[in-house]
Structure 1
Amino acid sequence: MKEAVRIGPNPASRPDLDEVMSAVALGDQSAFAVLFDAVAAPVLGVAHAVLRDRAQSEEVAQEVLVEVWRTAPRYRPERGTAVNWVLTLAHRRAVDRVRSAQAAAAREHRAGLRDRMREYDEVTEQVEARLEREQVRRCLRTLTEIQREAVELAYYRGMTYRQVAETLSVPLGTVKTRLRDGLIRLRDCLGVCA
C-alpha cells in the first residue's frame, strides 16, 4: 500500500505563531513577515466569507494585517492562539464593513425620502404661484383700460416703451405715464411695500 503524499510544509517545521506574535509585539519586522505569510490567506478567507466581495475583502485583510502590526502588544496568549486572535480581528473588521455599508444605504434611503418630500414643497409652490397669478389678474382688472393695455404690452409681451407707444399710437411720454400710474396701482392692490 502506498503512503499518502503530503503537499505543503511539514507541520513540525511550522513556527509557533504565539512566539512569533510575541516578537511582533516587540516590533520585529521579520517576525511580522513570518506571521503575515501564515495568516494572510485565512484572514482574506474570513473577510470574503462575510463580505462576499473580493475587492472589499482584500481591503479588509490589508487593514487587519496593519492593525495586527500596530496592536500586537495587546495580544494575550492566555486568551487564545495568535491565529484565533488575528481571525477574530478579521471577522470583526469585516462585520464592521457590512454594518457601515448598511448604515450608508440607510442614510441614502432617508435622503431619498427627504428628496421625495420636496415634491410636497413643489406642490405648495405651485399653489402659491397660482394664487399670486390670480391676485395679479384681479389687480389688473382695477386698472383703467389704457393702463392695463400698456402694462400687458410692456410686461407680458416684452415690448419696449417705444414699441408700446407705436402699438397704441400714443406719444412715448404718455406710455411712460400710464405705465408708472398703472404700476403704482398694482403695487397698492398687491400690498407690495415700495
Structure 2
Amino acid sequence: MDDLDPPSLEELMRQTASGDQEAFASLYDQVAARVHGLVVRILRDQAQSEEVTQEVFLQVWRSAPSFDPARGSALSWLMTLAHRRAVDRVRSAQAQSVRDADYESLRDKPLQDPTSQEVEDRWQAQTVRSAVTELGPPHQEAVELAYFQGMTHREVSLALGVPLGTAKTRIRDGLRKLRETTGGAR
C-alpha cells in the first residue's frame, strides 16, 4: 500500500474513534451517498432522509469507539446504524399517526349528557327487572339471587335448597329467556 491509496473504512473508523476529525470527514465522503441512499429507500421522504442521515453520522462520531472490526466490516456497521435509525423513524411516524387518529376520534365524539345517560340506564334497569319478574318462580328466584344479590352458584343452590347443577341450569335458562324477551344478542 503506497501513500496514494486512501485508508480503509476500518482504519478511518479507528482514527475517528480517537477523535480525528479529518478521518471522520474522509469516512463521510466515502460512505455518505450509500448511507443516504439506504435511508431514502426506507423513508421515501427526502427531508426526513436528510435528517436521519445526519443523525446516523452524529451517532457514528459518538459511538465510533464501539466499532469492533472483528464483528464485521465498517461498511456493514454503518449501514446497520442507518437501517436501524431509518426504521425507528418509520415506527415513530406510525405511532404518532395512531396517536393522532386516537386523539381525533376522541375529540370528535359528542360529549355525553349525564342526565340522559342516567335516564337511559334507569330505563334499561327497569326493563330488565320487569323481564325478570316475567320469568316465573324457579328461574326468577335463581337469577335474582345470582345477579341482584351477587350470590355464587353454590350459594344459590343452598338458598334454594336444590342441587348445584339445578341452580346452574335455572340461572342459565333464566338468562336465555331474558335474552329472548329483551331482544339481547346471544
- Judge same fold: TM > 0.5, yes or no: yes
CA-to-aligned-CA distance 1:90-126 (integer Å, 9 cap, x gap) = 0000000000000000001111121133x142xx279
Of 58, 83, 86, 1:91 maps to 83
User: Which one-letter code corresponds to 1:94 in the other structure?
Assistant: A
1:51 counterpart letter in structure 2: L
Displaced runs of 4 or more, over 3 A:
125-128
Percent identity between the two aligned chains: 50
SS in 1 for 2:19: coil
Tell me the distance in 2 between the aligned counterparts of 1:57 and 1:126.
53
Matched, 1:25 2:17: yes
Q: What count of residue pairs does the alignment treat as equivalent?
A: 114
Deviation of 1:20 (Å):
0.9
Larger Rg, first or second structure (1 or 2): 1
Partner of 1:45: 37
Instruction: Select which of 50, 72, 76 maps to 1:58.
Output: 50
Please give the alpha-carbon distance, in whole angstroms, between the structure 2 residues aligned to 1:102 and 1:13: 45
Structure 1 gaps of 5+ residues are 1-11, 129-194
Q: Distance in 2 between matches of 1:18 and 1:27?
A: 14
Partner of 1:165: none
d(CA) in 1 for partners of 2:6, 2:47:
30
Q: TM-score of the superposition, structure 1-length normalised?
A: 0.55
Deviations 1:13-36 (A, max 9, x none): 342110110010000111101101
Match of 1:101 among 81, 93, 96: 93
Equivalent residue number for residue 65 of structure 2? 73
- 3-state SS of paired residue (1:108): helix
